Amino acid sequence: MSQSQIINLDEKRDFEVNSSNLKHVRSFCREVFEKLNINQDLKDELVLAIAEAAQNIVKHAYKNEETEDKMEIKISVSNGYLEIGFFDKGRPVEKDKIRHRKIDDIKPGGLGTFFIQQIMDAVVFKEGEKPWINHLILSKNLNN
């Protein structure tokens, strides 16, 4: 798909950090990706990757604890290059401990990170700038 067919955009939204808001995260993503001229399969994959990353914030940065904190998700497309930023104020991510389970080790759990890595071109964890603690960046070249 050529980049001339993909518009530039920059949209962000806050969500309270809890599992019941994951459906709202998905709705936001679907709303944004509806504006992009990309195929439905890719849209569905991107929604899954974003929802898995948001789920990881709930499960790992906040350990499923009740909080009034919000996370922010920012979706940007520029020249056919998609970048999704996740900002949260949970526990600092220990980058060295993030790994998906071996895919042939069949057991419940540990697949979210695998899905994200399968779908996206790059996954980068950064220290968040105040007031944020964590800043995760998922990126993908939509021109390919």
Taking the alpha carbons at both ends of the chain, their separation in whole angstroms is 7
Binding of another protein at residue 81 (CB under 8 A)? no
Which range touches another protein (CB under 8 A), out of 9-17, 54-62, 70-78, 132-140? 54-62
Question: H or E element: which one contains 73?
Answer: strand 70-78
Separation of alpha carbons 54 and 136, rounded Å: 10
Strand order in the sheet with 81-88: 9-16, 70-78, 81-88, 134-141, 122-127
Binding of another protein at residue 48 (CB under 8 A)? yes
- Pick the binder of another protein from 51, 82, 93, 142 (CB under 8 A): 51
Q: Which of 80, 77, 78 is nearest to 3 (CA)?
A: 80
Binding of another protein at residue 144 (CB under 8 A)? no
Q: Which of residues 96-135 bind another protein (CB under 8 A)?
A: 103-104, 106-112, 114-115, 118
Closer Cβ to another protein, 68 or 104, answer by number: 104
Which range touches another protein (CB under 8 A), out of 2-10, 16-24, 89-97, 126-134? 16-24
Q: Rounded to the nearest whole angstrom, what is the least distance from the CB of residue 109 to another protein in the complex?
A: 5
Separation of alpha carbons 132 and 113, rounded Å: 21
- Pick the binder of another protein from 29, 38, 46, 58 (CB under 8 A): 58
Q: Is 125 left (phi over 0), alpha (psi -120 to 50) or beta?
A: beta
Name the residue with tokens 């994200």.
116
Residues within the interface to another protein (CB under 8 A): 19-20, 22-23, 26, 41, 44, 47-48, 51-52, 55, 58-59, 103-104, 106-112, 114-115, 118
